[in-house]
Amino acid sequence: MISNIVKKELKETFRDGRFKVAAMIILTLAIVSIFLTVDQYKKVNEAHNEARVNERAAWESQGEKTPHSAAHFGNYVFKPKSPLSLLDQGINKYTGISIFLEAHNRNEAQFSNASDQTSLSRFGELTVDFILLYMLPLIIILIGYNSYTKEVEGRTFFILKSQGITGWKLLLGKWLATLFPVLIITLILFLLCGVLLANLQDYGILNWSALGVLFLIYLIYYLVFTNIVLLISSLVKKSGVSLVLSLFFWVVACFIAPKVAGNLADNNYPYPTHQEFSKRIAEENKKGLDGHNPWNEEAKKLEREVLKKYKVDSLHKLPFNFGAYRMQKSEEYQSKVYAKHYEFLKAQAKKQLGVYTSWAVISPFLPARLLSMSITQTDYENHWNFAEAAEKYRIEAQRFLNGTTEKNSRYGQRYVASSEVWSKLPKFQYELPSFSSGIPKNYPLFIGLGIWLVLSSLVLIITNKNY
């Protein structure tokens, strides 16, 4: 009986010209977006690899100069792309792809895609995540909005009842028929992405477990939409009303709720402006050790401590270059200042994430979106990990350069390092965190999406068990 209902519903769906046109358009756009994104992914990785090689070559070919000059010459480090970023670009287009490392300053990531785009990009981009998150729920609405109302309007409901169809069988049949087309489209997209990514050479290793979990997340997201659309269709009597209410839920869930949550997060836990943030750091740096100013109060204090420790009465009698030593102590102090203020930004980001997570009770879109970015490693957490790894490398690089001067000269001497010194600085190494390490952090989001699935299913079953 249930199989007959599914066949009947699918036959009506595939006969509907509107569905066929919409499904073909979305499937075509999705496949095109996948191939475009794969091509972009390859080009970006090739550019990153080339830039890394050129940047290292430029660093090692500086020639003879003072290590402090080399510290100001600086170098760039580049953020690796996760293969699954093909499915969801997350915040990558806004945060930048590289960080310039130099003495005394902690810089932000630069060269984001968004900064190079025209105003036309505000109208949206053809990306896989846009289709998965926004367009496929519309297909569910198109299929299921009149699933029950057409039986009432066509006066076929009593015919179905006369054939002995119970409420739960009718519900299960319509539920499977509504979900099936979207499930097939999603499965095609994920399999295509998996095959393409698995066959890319030298561009990262695809984690099939992560791809499977991502598919499961989107499947639950579509299950929730299927439940809501069928619930609305079963409670109203007219197809037009059902369509309007279903579209209203889609607009609220996918557009209004995320925007409201974003505004609340910004208002309750705002970030300081760039000017204000820089001013706070500069003011605190002035209170501490200044490596360039030997008359600085903290510098004189350090001088007295070192002279006492080595039991000498002059900096010239120290067995190392005190100027380089003071410079390194200044770098370490400034790094603590930067760490303190960036930790504040990170704390604000976590609080804002808490707002988004709490708003998961209003919209299933929010937990699905945040989980998608986390699984594809394109969220703020992964960006922070890269930025902190870059800062750690910057401090180690300054310690190497200052240490070179400190060990090879005495106070007051101008030390010029040979061209071979620069190749001794270790290369920047950064690996993306493992997939499993991010799962525990996302338990609240999994729970939020699960609650949506359970509650919508229970309400739908209770409402239609005696339909």
pTM of the model: 0.87
Query: What is the pLDDT, as a whole number, of residue 203?
Result: 63
Q: Which of 281, 280, 288 is nearest to 338 (CA)?
A: 281
Question: What is the reported pLDDT for 123?
Answer: 42
Predicted confidence at residue 221, as pLDDT, reads 96
Q: Percentage of the chain with pLDDT > 70?
A: 90
- Band (pLDDT 50/70/90 cuts) for residue 467 is low
Tens digits of per-residue pLDDT, 165-224? 777 777 888 888 888 889 988 998 899 888 888 887 766 678 889 999 999 999 999 999
Q: What pLDDT is recorded for position 120? A: 40
pLDDT by residue (tens digit) across 27-65? Answer: 888 888 888 888 877 887 788 888 888 999 999 998 899
Query: What is the model's pLDDT at position 466?
Result: 64
pLDDT at 116: 44
Burial class (CB in 10 A: 0-12, 13-18, 19+), 466: exposed
The better pLDDT of the pair 91, 17 is held by: 91
Express each pLDDT in 394-452 by its tens digit: 999 999 999 999 998 888 888 899 888 999 999 998 888 888 888 888 899 999 999 99
Banded pLDDT at 122 (limits 50, 70, 90): very low
Q: Strand order in 105-110's β-sheet?
A: 75-78, 98-102, 105-110
Q: What is the pLDDT at residue 158?
A: 64
For the chain, what is the HEC assignment?
Answer: CHHHHHHHHHHHHHHCHHHHHHHHHHHHHHHHHHHHHHHHHHHHHHHHHHHHHHHHHHHHCCCCECHHHHHHHCEEEECCCCHHHHCCCCCHHHHCCEEEEECCEEEEEECCCHHHCCHHHHHCCCCHHHHHHHHHHHHHHHHHCCCCHHHHHCCCHHHHHHCCCCHHHHHHHHHHHHHHHHHHHHHHHHHHHHHHHHCCCCCCCCCHHHHHHHHHHHHHHHHHHHHHHHHHHHHCCCHHHHHHHHHHHHHHHHHHHHHHHHHHHHHHCCCCCHHHHHHHHHHHHHHCCCCCCCCCHHHHHHHHHHHHHHCCCCHHHCCCCHHHHHHHHHHHHHHHHHHHHHHHHHHHHHHHHHHHHHHHHCCCHHHHHHHHHHHCCCCHHHHHHHHHHHHHHHHHHHHHHHHHHHHHCCCCCCCCECCCHHHHCCCCCCCCCCCHHHCHHHHHHHHHHHHHHHHHHHHHHHHHCCC
pLDDT tens by residue, 245-303 = 999 999 999 999 999 999 999 999 998 888 999 899 988 988 888 888 888 888 889 99
Q: What is the mean pLDDT of the chain?
A: 86
